[in-house]
Every structure is written in C-alpha cells, then in structure tokens.
Amino acid sequence: MTTEGEEFLGVKQQDSSGGEVDNPPPSGWSIIFYIFGVIGGMASVINLIALSNEEATLAQFAISVAVTLQMFFAGFIVDVLTDIRWYLKTLVKRDK
C-alpha cells in the first residue's frame, strides 16, 4: 500500500492534482555518514581477517563494527529528518 508521492516498483505516484511529486534531494551529511560507514565496514573486515588470539585485535574489531553501525544509523536518521523537513516545506508552499 502506497500513499501519495511514494514510488512503488519504479513507478512514481501522482499527487491529488495529477502532477508528479518530487523526491527530496539527498543530504550531503548523510552521504558522508554512509561513506564513513563503508570505511568502518572495511576496517571491520580487515580486523576480522587479521584476528588472532590477541584481546586488542578483538576489541578493535568490536569497535569498528560498532562505528560502522553507528555511521549507517546516523546517515539514516539524517535522511529521515531531511525528508521530513523537505515535505513540510512542500506542504507550506502548497498551502499558501
């Protein structure tokens, strides 16, 4: 089930006036967080490959996994807040 303005299976939905609804532009901050998440993920894989019986390496692996998850979550939150702000601005412009 989709609402107005959503895209389902690559088909852009239309708003009540018949025009297409634009999607909000991506935030630069979320892209930076996603890039750092990928870097953290690569660091996790490298730490996993280099994992030996040393406790320091296990701690580095755990920290890099935590940083990876944190960066992806932060990027997601920035995207959600950016979308909310963009849609609210669109509603205000449409109501004026």
- Domain contains 58: yes
Q: How many domains does the chain divide into?
A: 1
Task: Return the percentage of the chain with pLDDT > 90, whole number.
Answer: 33
pLDDT band, residue 82 (cuts 50/70/90): very high
- Domain contains 16: no
| Residue that wins the pLDDT comparison between 92 and 13 | 92
Q: Give the residue numbers spanning the domain of 32.
A: 27-95
**Given the structure tokens 């989709």, which residue do they identify?**
2
- Domain contains 91: yes
* Residues 40-81 pLDDT 10s: 999 888 888 877 667 777 888 888 899 999 999 999 999 999
- Domain contains 41: yes
- Domain contains 50: yes
Q: Is the pTM of this model over 0.75?
A: no
Calpha distance 38→25 (Å, rounded): 21
- Domain contains 17: no
